Structure 1
Amino acid sequence: MSQEDLIIIKKQLGRGVSNVLNIEKRCIYGYPQVIKSFPLKDGKPFPTLYWLTCPYLVEEVSKLEAQQKITEIEKIIQNDPVLRQQMIHAHKEEIKKRMKLLGEKISSLSENMIKKLKQTGIGGIEDFSTIKCLHLHYASYLVGENNPVGEIVDRYIAKKCCDDSRCEKWVGCGAKGR
C-alpha cells in the first residue's frame, strides 16, 4: 500500500483513516475497493475488519439500504436455517481474524475492550440475527469471505463497477494509466 493509496482512500471516504492495514481488493481501475482495518483505533475497539471504500459501491449499497433491503435480507436469513448458520459462522470467523490481528496487544487491553472485540460480530454487532449495515457485509463478501448477506447484496447490484469518468470524479485523479 502506497502513500498514493492512502490519499485515494482519504478522498474516497472524505476523511483520513489511521488504522488501515492493507488494501484487500481493488477495482478494475486499480483503486482501493475494500480495505482491511486494525481492530483498534485511537486506543478503542474498532470491530470493522473490512471496509468498503469504493464510492460507487458505497452509493449502490446505500440505495439498497434506503429501499429497506436490510429488513428484507434479515427475513431471508432468519427464515433459512442454512443461511442463518452461515451468517453466525461469518461473524465468528471475523472475530477469530480480529483476535489474531491483535496478537500480543490483547494483553494491554481492558476486560471490557476484550469482551467487546471477542463477543461482537461484523461491524461490532451483538445480535448475530440482525444486520447493522449492508456495506460491512458486502465488503466482507468482496474479499472472499463466506458472507450470505454480502452475497445477497451482490445479487442486487447489477453493475459492479463505475465507468472511468465517475471514478475519476470521486478520486480526483485519472483512472487511466494506473
Structure 2
Amino acid sequence: MQAQLGRPMRGVVGIAARCVCGNPTVVATEPRLPDGTPFPTFYYLTHPGATAAMSALEATQVMRELADALAEDEELAAAYTRAHEAYLSDRAVHGTVDEIEGISAGGMPVRVKCLHAVAAHSLAAGPGVNPIGDLALERGDWSPERCTCAAPGGTG
C-alpha cells in the first residue's frame, strides 16, 4: 500500500477490497488517525489504476452529470442516502469521533464531491450499495475484474 501511494499509510485497520491479483485496492482507515486527526474517509482508494481512472473522470463533466442526476432522481437520491448511512455504520465499528459525526465521504448524502471516495465505497461494499460509486466505476476505464497492477503479484 505504501508503494501504491508513495507514502506511509496511516491508521489502516484492514484491506477492504483487493484487485483480482490480490493487491490492495481499498483500505479501511480508523476514524481518528494515530496523530489524533479526525479522518472521515473510512474507505480509501489505493490502487493506482483505480485512482487514475477516478481522477480522469473528475476532470470531465461527469461529476456535474452525476450531481444533476442526484438532484432529479428521487430513487437515486434515496439510494445515495442509504449508502451514506451504510458508510457511517461501517466506520462506527472502529469508533466514533465527535468532530466527524454524521459526515461520511465523497459528498454523501447530498452531493457528488469525490469520485475516489464513492468508488472506494462501492469496491469495498460491493455493487448496489453506493449508486454513485457504481456509476463512476462503470464510466471509468479501470475495472476491478481486470488486473493492471505492475507491482509484484500483479498480472498486468
TM range (shorter): 0.7 to 0.9
Which residue number in structure 1 is paired with residue 17 of structure 2? 25
Which residue number in structure 1 is paired with residue 102 of structure 2? 119
Matched, 1:63 2:46: no
Match of 1:80 among 73, 78, 84: 73
**Fraction of identical pairs, as percent:** 30
Question: 2: distance between equivalents of 1:50 and 1:121?
Answer: 10
Which residue number in structure 1 is paired with residue 124 of structure 2? 143
Which residue number in structure 2 is paired with residue 152 of structure 1? 135
Question: 1: distance between equivalents of 2:45 and 2:86?
Answer: 18
Aligned residues: 152
What is the TM-score of this pair, normalised by structure 1? 0.76
RMSD of aligned Cα (Å): 2.1
Higher Cα Rg: structure 1 or 2? 1
**Structure 2: segments with no counterpart, 5+ residues:** none
Change (3 A) 1:140 1:133: same
Change (3 A) 1:163 1:137: closer
Considering fraction of residues, name the structure with more helix: 1
Which residue number in structure 2 is paired with residue 6 of structure 1? none
Q: Contact 1:95 / 1:117 at 8 angstroms: preserved in 2?
A: no
CA shift, 1:157, in A, is 2.4
Residues 104-142 of structure 1 deviation map (CA, whole Å, 9 limit, x = unaligned):
xx5xxxxxx50x32221225x4x7311220010001011
CA shift, 1:71, in A, is 1.2
Question: 1: distance between equivalents of 2:22 and 2:135?
Answer: 25
The list of structure 1 runs, each at least 4 consecutive aligned residues, that deviate by more than 3 angstroms after superposition, is: 161-164
Q: Contact 1:56 / 1:161 at 8 angstroms: preserved in 2?
A: no
Question: 2: distance between equivalents of 1:128 and 1:161?
Answer: 24
CA shift, 1:147, in A, is 0.4
DSSP-derived class of the 2:27 partner: strand
